[in-house]
Structure 1
Amino acid sequence: MASKAIYPIVAVVGIAAVSGAAWWFQKGSSPSAPPAGGAPQAAAGAGPASAPAPGSGGPVVVEAARVSVMRLSDDAQTVGSLRSRQSVMVRPEVGGRVTQLNFRDGDRVRKGQLLVQFDDQLQQAQLQQSKAELSIAQANHKRNQDLVAQSFISQRSVDESAANLEVAQAKLALAQATAARLKIIAPFDGITGIRSVNIGDYLKDGADIVNIEDMDAVYVDFRLPERFQSKVRRGQRALLNIDALPGRSFTAVVQAIDPLLDANGRSVGIRGCVDNRQLQLRPGMFARVTAVFGERNDARVIPEEALVPQGNRQFVVKIVDGADGSRTTQRVEVKVGIRRPGRVEITDGVQEGDWIVTAGQQRVQRDGTKVRVVDLNANQAPGQSPEGGAPAARGSAPVAPNGAAPAAPSLASAPVAAVSPAAARAAASGPNPCLIGMAAADRADPPAAPSGGKPAGPRPAARNPA
């Protein structure tokens, strides 16, 4: 029993000896303390001091960007199909044999123009017979009126002749209507398609002859989710990109909104109208539609990485100038508007020209923290232009939503290929067919920014379009 009690004592003594040896070794290998009251000697040839760590008392290094102003559109993307403003398949009401075709395939026709004539010899004979009967009935009735005035016949004979005259007039009208059914005329101005009949063909009633398309204006039908039904209204603009016509864009005017939502897809149907007097678009084309609900020429935007979300609230770290010339931070709550790739609109909380921290927010623990700004894009300090001169002019360098170079206004059509002089004159003459019949309030175009990107007049009050 005594031998077993020795083991724990030996273990405790061994651990104490090892601990003492380790303490003595660390104390002996540590550098000697500097002399009392003396300053530590800097190592010869030492490089510049590194950036101070947070909480060390020096400024914190952060990246920042300015709040810029750009033209921003509140829009939604969808797809749609083009269709003619008016389209009809010409079909006969009665059967007959074709004797005349007064049009060519793809030819422009006018309203009331005779297109197809059927064999109407029998109907014309009936028409001549009805005219002769009407002439006899008119002569008899006039003679009876003269005789009854002289009391040679009774009034009953005059009434009978008047009834016979009405019957003859009805027979003539019937013969004229029967003969008119054998003539097919154009119901409106348009362009004919490719006919499927020839002279001499016998057609039954309802057979397809040729289609007529009114393409001076084309409709684009598209659908949007139901959450946009409160934003879309008549007279708004929509930008169209056609896959079959790359590099070209067209502008449509919203003309109608379906009051009934699709219960399956929970979407609202919308119809826009495109001026097509140059005949560049054709019915059936596939279109990529960007419905524009509103535009702001002076939207304030910041990089998306500058946002610091906290629950349902959004904050940014704003850089302000201190009294002693230093730069300090201030956490500001902001309201977010439209989002674009890499950028986000701020409707309230910051102003144009303010500097916002885009990287290093986690180093800023509280308001009033001194910071040193590093702009990796332009290597500029707050309040200076990228060239190091005066502050950049407002609106002088707008940034496109996709980060590309500034582009032309989104609602302006891109240049198109040259057309014939006749087509150009036809396109330039007359009013826009899409605006005919629309109310003045619906036809008002949205205000556009003048050249240079600066908004006209005072800045409107900021609001959240969402």
Structure 2
Amino acid sequence: MSGPLQRLLTALPLLFVAVIAGCRDAPAAEARPQAGADRAVQIRSVVITPEVLVRRIRALGTLQADETTQVSAEITGRITRINFEDGQRVEAGQTLFQLDDRIDRADLTRAEAQLALAKRSHARATELNGRGLLSTAELDQTLSALRVAEAEVAVARTRVEKARVPAPFSGFVGLRQVSPGAYVSPGEALVNLESVDRIKLDFRVPEAELAHLSVGLPATVSLDALPDKTFEAEVIALNPRASTESRSIELRARIDNRDGVLRPGLFARVQLELGRSEDALMAPEAAVFPRGEKNFVYRIDGEDRAELAEVVLGQREPGYVEIRDGIAANDEIVTGGIQRLSDGMAVQRQTATAAR
């Protein structure tokens, strides 16, 4: 083997060892890329500023007649006459049904005759007693007989009156349930009577609003049955007892219905005005998301990181919702990119504007 070739073969192992040693001495930063780089998430956000808000509660209710009753007779008897047409307006005291009262009228005539006789007997006895021809005891007996006769007339007259079934108040009768000749019993429903010149509206609101409720609050009412109209109402009463089942307060409002458009029993949508708030915080609905039974937003802190904040919601407006607790005025919250966020992540704004 020649000299140069031999020297080359001898040097190769030493060169290989040097290359390996050089690789081992290379810095760790050059051997692998840097880990843990913090990448910011692209988001959209708004700055929440105080604004004026007319506080409203929306509720569902049912229209009720101002006065309503089922007309019925107080005594047993046979109907001889009906003095109205179905759906007709009647006045208070007007006779609606007449029962057979012939026997009662005969009893009244007899009682009145006995009363007339008792009056004459007492007058004669009084005259004789004044002349000393009749004792005081005998005079007292005639007076007692007079009082009994007067009571008998009153009883007979009452029976005659009860054979007449009057309207207890003015209003509209409904559809009668009986016909002439029907034999009716006390308390049996004959026809419904509704007073609808004014309409009552019963509805419920959450008990959390109790501090804002009072008699006299205005409300706007809309009806599915009359979609092109709205009606003004005024709260006239609050139920002093809250519902333990629904945790709500029942209210009653009144609507003027002199034109007769509204009908008892209709379904109503109520918007109750509770006053004005000068510093309400309104956030886009897109910024709020639920977790379980709670609601949250992402607030951006001073280091441009997303901070999870639990919030308490209030009144809703189209596209917006009031935040009553959980954020402060001039806080910046995330409205877009929420799905990619978690608490503490860095953010980079695409847009940042006022809430509305």
Say yes or no: does 1:340 pair with 2:348.
no
**Where do 1:257-272 residues align within 5 Å?**
257-272=238-253
Corresponding residue to 2:218 among 196, 212, 237: 237
The superposition leaves residues 268-317 of structure 1 with CA deviations (integer Å, 9 ceiling, x where unpaired) of: 11111111111111111111122221136x77777649x9xxx9998999
Matched residue type, 2:159: T
Matched residue type, 1:83: Q
Q: Flag the structure with larger Rg.
A: 2
Say yes or no: does 1:211 pair with 2:219.
no
**Where do 1:79-228 residues align within 5 Å?**
79-228=60-209
**Where do 1:61-460 residues align within 5 Å?**
72-295=53-276, 304=284, 340-343=317-320
> How much does 1:213 deviate?
0.2
Q: What is the alpha-carbon distance in structure 1 between the residues aligned to residue 128 and residue 50 of structure 2?
A: 99
> How much does 1:247 deviate?
2.4
The runs of 5 or more residues in structure 2 that have no matched partner are: 1-12, 31-43, 288-295, 303-312, 336-350
Q: What is the alpha-carbon distance in structure 2 between the residues aligned to residue 145 and residue 295 of structure 1?
A: 80
Q: What is the alpha-carbon distance in structure 2 between the residues aligned to residue 346 and residue 101 of structure 1?
A: 62
Structure number with higher strand proportion: 2
The answer on whether the counterparts of 2:300 and 2:334 sit within 8 Å (CA) in structure 1 is no
> How much does 1:124 deviate?
0.3
> How much does 1:168 deviate?
0.1
SS in 2 for 1:172: helix
Matched residue type, 1:78: A
The superposition leaves residues 335-386 of structure 1 with CA deviations (integer Å, 9 ceiling, x where unpaired) of: x986634457799x98xxxx998999xxxxxxxxxxxxx9999xxxxxxxxx
TM-score normalised to structure 1 length: 0.55
The answer on whether the counterparts of 2:299 and 2:333 sit within 8 Å (CA) in structure 1 is no
Say yes or no: does 1:9 pair with 2:20.
no
Q: What is the alpha-carbon distance in structure 2 between the residues aligned to residue 337 and residue 284 of structure 1?
A: 30
The runs of 5 or more residues in structure 1 that have no matched partner are: 23-61, 318-335, 361-373, 378-402, 404-466
Q: Structure 1 residues 277 and 8, CA, compared in 2 at 3 Å: closer, same or farther? A: farther
The superposition leaves residues 105-149 of structure 1 with CA deviations (integer Å, 9 ceiling, x where unpaired) of: 111111111111011000000000000000000011011111111
Alignment-derived partner of residue 412 in structure 1: none
CA RMSD of superposed structures (Å)? 4.5
Q: What is the alpha-carbon distance in structure 1 between the residues aligned to residue 333 and residue 138 of structure 2?
A: 106
The answer on whether the counterparts of 1:224 and 1:269 sit within 8 Å (CA) in structure 2 is yes
Q: Which has the higher contact order (CA 8 A, sep 6+)?
A: 2
Matched residue type, 1:9: V
The answer on whether the counterparts of 1:75 and 1:290 sit within 8 Å (CA) in structure 2 is yes
Q: What is the alpha-carbon distance in structure 1 between the residues aligned to residue 54 and residue 300 of structure 2?
A: 23
Q: What is the alpha-carbon distance in structure 2 between the residues aligned to residue 103 and residue 169 of structure 1?
A: 35
Q: Between Structure 1 and Structure 2, how many residues are aligned?
A: 301
Q: What is the alpha-carbon distance in structure 1 between the residues aligned to residue 301 and residue 268 of structure 2?
A: 40
Q: What is the alpha-carbon distance in structure 2 between the residues aligned to residue 172 and residue 161 of structure 1?
A: 17
The answer on whether the counterparts of 1:299 and 1:345 sit within 8 Å (CA) in structure 2 is no
Q: Structure 1 residues 213 and 265, CA, compared in 2 at 3 Å: closer, same or farther? A: same
The superposition leaves residues 149-194 of structure 1 with CA deviations (integer Å, 9 ceiling, x where unpaired) of: 1111111121111000000000000001111111000100110001
Q: Structure 1 residues 144 and 301, CA, compared in 2 at 3 Å: closer, same or farther? A: same
TM-score normalised to structure 2 length: 0.70
Q: Structure 1 residues 8 and 263, CA, compared in 2 at 3 Å: closer, same or farther? A: farther
Matched residue type, 1:12: I
Q: What is the alpha-carbon distance in structure 2 between the residues aligned to residue 225 and residue 63 of structure 1?
A: 32
Q: What is the alpha-carbon distance in structure 2 between the residues aligned to residue 312 and residue 67 of structure 1?
A: 16
The superposition leaves residues 395-419 of structure 1 with CA deviations (integer Å, 9 ceiling, x where unpaired) of: xxxxxxxx9xxxxxxxxxxxxxxxx
Q: Structure 1 residues 314 and 275, CA, compared in 2 at 3 Å: closer, same or farther? A: farther
The answer on whether the counterparts of 1:114 and 1:186 sit within 8 Å (CA) in structure 2 is yes
Matched residue type, 2:20: V
Alignment-derived partner of residue 409 in structure 1: none
The answer on whether the counterparts of 2:198 and 2:256 sit within 8 Å (CA) in structure 1 is yes
Q: What is the alpha-carbon distance in structure 2 between the residues aligned to residue 166 and residue 246 of structure 1?
A: 65
> How much does 1:66 deviate?
11
